[in-house]
Amino acid sequence: MPMFTFFTAPNTCSLAVHIALEEAGAPYEVSRVDTAANAQRTPAYLAINPKGRVPALVTPQGTLTETPALLAFVAQSFPGAGLAPLADPYAFARIQSFNSYLCSTVHVAHAHKHRGYRWVDAGDATALEAMRLKVPQTMAECFELIEREMFTGPWVMGDTYSIADPYLFTIANWLEGDGVDPARFPKVLGHRHRMLARPAVARAVAQAALK
């Protein structure tokens, strides 16, 4: 199968896709984007992903972006890995619903801490600080909903591991940095420990930590 090129950066949501690629046994090479040096805004990278963000996955058909889309692509491209219930439209939609919530709500709540300039004037220090101070509350509220209503266990959707699991794992790892004690969410914290015991997760985490 043709090689994919996976564009990623440390401490970003791209870790979820990295894990999925490892779980699927996909042929891919990693290209690291130095976001600390603002490499995501260079002409070279913008030619790959005009959004100036990671992740991006270059495939023989073209370049794909957005974590939920990439996770679904990996699951559909490697059905033998069993990363999604592809034959069950309802079950697959439930996974997509969960991943969409992580993308559109939880990740946005987290981004208010360091990237408030996306929503208010970058020179408005008062507004930026108000957004930053709100993050522990909004992230906790998001995970209270996940813990209470959305997490089935032992994996996100029940007994079967899926593409929802690496995405939850990735974003849940931001809790401490956002001022939220993960011990408040024993289901989610237990999920973190189960994820770390998976060889594919360990490989992806190790690769993501490389410079």
* Residue 8, H or E segment: strand 4-8
In this predicted structure, what is the pLDDT of residue 209? 81
Give the residue-averaged pLDDT of 103-123: 95
Q: Which of 183, 150, 188 shows the shortest CA–CA distance to 169?
A: 188
What mean pLDDT do residues 96-105 have? Answer: 98
Distance between CA atoms of 175 and 51, rounded to whole angstroms? 26
Residues 144 and 106: their CA atoms lie apart, in Å, by 11
pLDDT interval class at 139 (50, 70, 90): very high
pLDDT at 92: 98
What pLDDT shows up at residue 196?
97
Instruction: Provide mean pLDDT across the span 102-126.
Output: 95
Residue 45 half-sphere exposure toward CB, CA atoms < 13 A? 22
Mean pLDDT of the chain: 96
Residues 47-80: tens digit of each pLDDT: 999 999 999 999 999 999 999 999 999 999 999 9
What is the per-residue pLDDT for 51?
97
pLDDT at residue 211 is higher than 60: no
pTM value > 0.85: yes
CA distance 152 to 149: 8
Residues near 185 by beta carbon (within 8 Å), at least 6 away in sequence: 143, 144, 146, 147, 172, 175
Confidence of residue 1 (pLDDT cuts 50, 70, 90): low
Lateral strand order in the sheet of 56-59: 28-32, 4-8, 56-59, 62-65
Q: What pLDDT does residue 2 have?
A: 74
Residue 145 pLDDT more than 60?
yes
Average pLDDT over residues 174-180: 98
The C-alpha atoms of residue 211 and residue 207 are separated, in whole angstroms, by 9
